[in-house]
Amino acid sequence: MEEQIIRTEYSEVMQKSYIDYAMSVIISRALPDVRDGLKPVQRRTLYDMYELGIRYDRPYRKCARIVGDTMGKYHPHGDSSIYEALVVMAQEFKKGQVLVDGHGNFGSIEGDGAAAMRYTEARLEKITQEVFLSDLDKDVVDFVPNFDETEKEPSVLPVRIPNLLVNGSDGIAVGMATSIPPHNLGEVIDASIAYMENGDITTEELMNYVQGPDFPTGGIVVNKEDLADIYRQGTGKIKIRGKVEIEQDKGGKSRLVITQIPYPMIGANIGKFLNDVCALVESKKTTDIVDISNQSSKEGIRIVLELKRNADVDNLISLLYKKTRLEDTFGVNMLAVADGRPQTLGLKEIIRHHVDFRFEIAGRKYETLLRKEREKKEIQEGLIRAVDVIDVIIEILRGSKNIAQAKECLITGKTEGIRFRTKSSQKIANGLHFTERQASAILEMRLYRLIGLEIDTLQKEHRETLKKIAWYEDILNNYETMAGVIKEDLMAIKKEYARPRKTSVIQAEEIIYEEKEPQELPLVVLIDRFSYMKSMDPSVYERNKEAADTESRYILRCMSTDKVALFTDTGRVHAVKAKDIPYGKFRDKGVPADNVSNYDSTAEQMIYAAPMEELKSSLLLFVTGQGMCKLTQGSEFDVQKRTIAATKLAEGDKLSSVQKYDGQGQVVLRTREEVFLKFSAQEIPKMKRAAVGVRGIRLDKDDQVTEAYLLLPGTDVTVDNGEKTVALNRLKLAKRDGKGVRHRK
């Protein structure tokens, strides 16, 4: 085959390919269809279960069988996505209406995953079979080829309720995402009926029926006034609070019991909530909680907070709403595939699309039923006529050479080649003009149908068929009649499957939490060489002073309302609130600085620490590895951010030393090659923290400053230099930016 080279702009090829990919993800995987409220993987899984006969009144089947069959026939995108969709449809804490009846471990509300598909079993729920999958045999939806064109699958399921609202949906596509909350089945059905009765109904009027989301976890929606805008535009934020009950025990103590949680809290966020409550206790945000336990079970959520006597219960509840996920937001983005493309839809638009779909499937259903009844009518009329001339028909059958000849005579009246007993019988046969369907039915008719009672039954069936034909024609030709049939069906579904609302919808005031002023107490903060931090009462430190001084790298005295500044070799300074540092006994291990600040022990090294209050009135001397020096006012580091740049560093440079400077003395810089340079600290200029500084020493290639010493008047300082010592006071005083003197080891 001759090679063909197509020259085109690369960007155009990439653009087209990416758009094709994005649309495939959007339409075929990530977003639900507004008509049945299902994503393709959900639709295919339910249809496959229906095809396999895994009905609600039959035994469970292994999920591995369902997943494998679905993947092999309809959804070739991996077994994990199919099983995950199957599991979610069986979890009552995620869906407003469970669609799959799961048997086995299908996970828990606390985030435990489902067991492997080889262990679990499933079958369809009754509502799924009767409301989602019924009438598939009545040509109500189009069937399309599967991925390899070996099977047919429905393009959409004939769902008879607005499932997109009832069960909600969430999914991330390319460049867009959907997040639709679940709603109460009965309310959604009432809204659909109201729309059918008045197509001009407003969103606000629909909300007389749909109060708001109805989450399976309950909770309280507290921004009722915002719901109208959310349902009109299809986007917004819903604020949800958990339900908290107050119980009293016999001893006069109170306990808070959380019986319902916000929908976004399900999964790992329940554990995070418990940790957040513990953190509030540890950080002394509240002293009213003495114990917390999670007593949740299959019966429901029950998280118990034991309180001390005379606790301020109302303020504590406000604290929980304010500082934990007991109050959370659900971001609404009602994006779905409508008319073949993704659209953000409001409440009315979703109901309109579904009602239009109901009329479409109802029209196709009754057209199919009407066609079948007309065929039945045709056959019945033929059989009734045949009874009147049954003797002639018997003569035709006995006188014909084969069935084709007899059938032709019944249809056209052609009698050539057929033997008759009498000319009158032949004359009657010449006048027969049955249709082909009637002729086939006559030839297949059994003799017992000639019994008088059977003939009466046939005539009765014919009258019933005529009634059905008239009824179906009335439904198809009159909007009001069809609307009445759909309403009646919706009311029957509501009567059998609707459940009371779980989520309350109110308009509540913004939570006001009166944070008590922290008590100002003196602390001693200890930081060891591994950057572990702990704080304690000064009296505890004094009793253990010798051991503390030996084991600690930094010993800082500050107040509980102060911050501790941690300077690192990367030129950053991290601020740690003293109250966030674990307070306790001297032998407590403490916590890594990483846990209470943005400090990263794997990427930086702490070179200096000091109380922030102490730094405000101090000058700090900065020296870098490349010999840059400057003085900076300590107050520049007292900012609200947890981490800021302490100094600007040149490329490849690191901070070697930070220390307080009281305005006098001399500086000695020491390098890796044991070069020492001593000069007056007065030569170092004061600069802002964003400045690089000035050069303090001229370094040889590959050399760098490792230490900086401040010599105060009247002090003698010596440092080890191998086996020798160097008296820094005796070094010759030079000028800044000099070469220094090398001292060999």
Per the structure block, which two tokens stand in for 370? 């009407």
pLDDT of amino acid 189: 96
Per-residue pLDDT tens for 207-221? Answer: 999 999 999 999 999
Average pLDDT over residues 260-286: 87
pLDDT of amino acid 416: 83
Average pLDDT over residues 659-672: 88
Cα distance between residue 189 and residue 262, in whole Å: 25
pLDDT of amino acid 136: 92
Facing residues of 557 across strands?
A: 524
Average pLDDT over residues 620-638: 92
Cα distance between residue 546 and residue 355, in whole Å: 81
pLDDT of amino acid 451: 67
Facing residues of 236 across strands?
A: 332
Q: For 356-425, give the DSSP string.
A: HHHHHHHHHHHHHHHHHHHHHHHHHHHHHHHHHTHHHHHHHHHH-SSHHHHHHHHHH---TT---SSHHH
pLDDT of amino acid 51: 94
pLDDT of amino acid 517: 61
Q: Parallel, antiparallel, or unpaired: how do β-strands 220-221 and 504-505 relate?
A: parallel
* Cβ count near 95 (within 10 Å): 17
Per-residue pLDDT tens for 35-60? Answer: 999 999 999 999 999 999 999 999 99
pLDDT of amino acid 502: 94
pLDDT of amino acid 516: 63
Percent of the chain with pLDDT over 90: 54
Give which of 345, 450, 330, 342 is closest to 390, Cα–Cα: 450
Type of residue numbered 14: M
> Does 91 have pLDDT greater than 70?
yes
Cα distance between residue 349 and residue 578, in whole Å: 55
pLDDT of amino acid 428: 83
pLDDT of amino acid 106: 94
The alpha carbon dihedral of 85, 86, 92, 95 has a sign of positive
Confidence of residue 96 (pLDDT cuts 50, 70, 90): confident
Confidence of residue 513 (pLDDT cuts 50, 70, 90): low
pLDDT higher for 606 or 24? 606
Cα distance between residue 153 and residue 69, in whole Å: 13
Residue 309 CB-half CA count within 13 A: 3
Confidence of residue 31 (pLDDT cuts 50, 70, 90): confident
Cα 89–93–95 angle (5° rounding)? 40
How would you classify residue 7: left for phi > 0, otherwise alpha for psi between -120 and 50, otherwise beta?
beta
Average pLDDT over residues 242-260: 87
Cα distance between residue 744 and residue 725, in whole Å: 11
Average pLDDT over residues 592-601: 90
pLDDT of amino acid 172: 81
pLDDT of amino acid 506: 92
pLDDT of amino acid 456: 82
Considering the chain, what is the average pLDDT of its residues? 89
Average pLDDT over residues 400-424: 83
Per-residue pLDDT tens for 340-384? Answer: 888 999 999 999 999 999 999 999 999 999 999 999 898 888 888
Query: What is the rounded (10 degree) CA torsion for 652, 658, 662, 664?
Result: -50
Give which of 15, 19, 100 is closest to 54, Cα–Cα: 100
Q: Going from the N-terminus, what domains does the chain have, and what CATH number goes with each?
A: 31-159 (3.90.199.10), 243-325 (3.30.1360.40), 359-495 (1.10.268.10), 522-742 (2.120.10.90)
In 74-217, alpha helices (H): 79-88, 126-127, 163-166, 185-197, 203-206
Beta carbons of 105 and 115 less than 8 angstroms apart: yes
pLDDT of amino acid 288: 85
> Does 453 have pLDDT greater than 60?
no
675-710 exposure pattern, b = at least 16 Cβ within 10 A, e = fewer: bbbbbebeebeebebeebbeebbebeeebbbeebbb
Average pLDDT over residues 413-435: 82
Average pLDDT over residues 64-78: 93
pLDDT of amino acid 520: 80
State the DSSP H helix or E strand holding residue 289, giving kind and residue range, or none if neither: strand 289-294
Average pLDDT over residues 490-504: 95
Beta carbons of 714 and 659 less than 8 angstroms apart: no
Per-residue pLDDT tens for 157-173? Answer: 999 999 999 999 998 87
Per-residue pLDDT tens for 170-189? Answer: 988 777 889 999 999 999 99
pLDDT of amino acid 640: 86
Beta carbons of 677 and 709 less than 8 angstroms apart: no
Cα distance between residue 544 and residue 530, in whole Å: 20
Cα distance between residue 156 and residue 139, in whole Å: 12
**DSSP E strands: which ranges in 625-665?**
628-633, 643-645, 655-661
- φ and ψ at residue 59, rounded to 5 degrees: -65, 155
The set of catalytic residues is: 119
Confidence of residue 308 (pLDDT cuts 50, 70, 90): confident
Q: Highest mean pLDDT: which of 176-185, 274-283, 389-398, 578-587?
A: 176-185
> Does 716 have pLDDT greater than 90?
no
Cα distance between residue 429 and residue 411, in whole Å: 10
pLDDT higher for 200 or 664? 200
Confidence of residue 28 (pLDDT cuts 50, 70, 90): low
Lowest mean pLDDT among 225-239, 429-443, 469-483: 429-443
Confidence of residue 626 (pLDDT cuts 50, 70, 90): very high
